[in-house]
């Protein structure tokens, strides 16, 4: 795991942006699911319109999930984790949810170690503005 001082301000901003995007996508997914259930109930389970809505909803959820995999990859990259493992795991049912919870917890922990408060929708913008720029110590190269 990374030490608390290993993230620069830019790293923390990337972590916060990716985490917020993932949380937003989760909420949109929930809204789409509720909308689909409501439309099937309102239109009648056996109607042709309900079938069309269900089909469209599945495509929307698929696109949202693919976008989510991109943000999971970006978040894992920003956290300096093995990003491709998280991206692949996101495609596996149930494992994807656990992956999402883990990567979100890692992001929350990294932000909190740097004094950034994290709320329901991710990092608070006011705290991100107050994070001082950190310099990563230069690596020594032997000549």
Lowest-confidence pick of 11-15, 44-48, 67-71, 118-122: 44-48
In a domain, 113, yes or no: yes
Q: Is residue 70 part of a domain?
A: yes
Q: Residue 4: what pLDDT? A: 46
Q: Which residue has the tokens 């990374």?
A: 2
Residue 134 has a pLDDT of 58
Structure-token match 């107050």, residue found: 130
Domain assignment present for residue 34? The answer is yes
Report the pLDDT value the prediction gives residue 133, as an integer from 0 to 100: 59
Full domain range(s) for residue 101: 7-129
Using the predicted structure, report yes or no on whether residue 2 has a pLDDT greater than 50. Answer: no
Domain count, the chain: 1
Write the DSSP symbol of residue 47. Answer: S
């Amino acid at each position: 795991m990374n030490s608390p001082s290993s993230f620069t301000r830019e790293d923390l901003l990337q972590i916060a942006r990716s985490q917020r995007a993932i949380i937003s996508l989760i909420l949109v997914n929930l809204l789409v699911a509720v909308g689909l259930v409501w439309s099937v109930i309102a239109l009648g389970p056996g109607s042709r319109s309900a079938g069309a809505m269900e089909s469209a909803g599945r495509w929307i959820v698929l696109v949202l999930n693919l976008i989510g995999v991109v943000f999971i990859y970006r978040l894992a990259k920003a956290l300096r984790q093995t990003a491709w493992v998280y991206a692949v795991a996101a495609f596996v049912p149930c494992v994807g949810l656990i992956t999402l919870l883990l990567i979100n917890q890692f992001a929350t922990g990294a932000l909190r170690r740097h004094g950034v408060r994290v709320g329901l929708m991710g990092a608070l913008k006011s705290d991100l503005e107050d994070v001082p720029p950190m310099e990563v110590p230069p690596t020594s190269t032997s000549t």
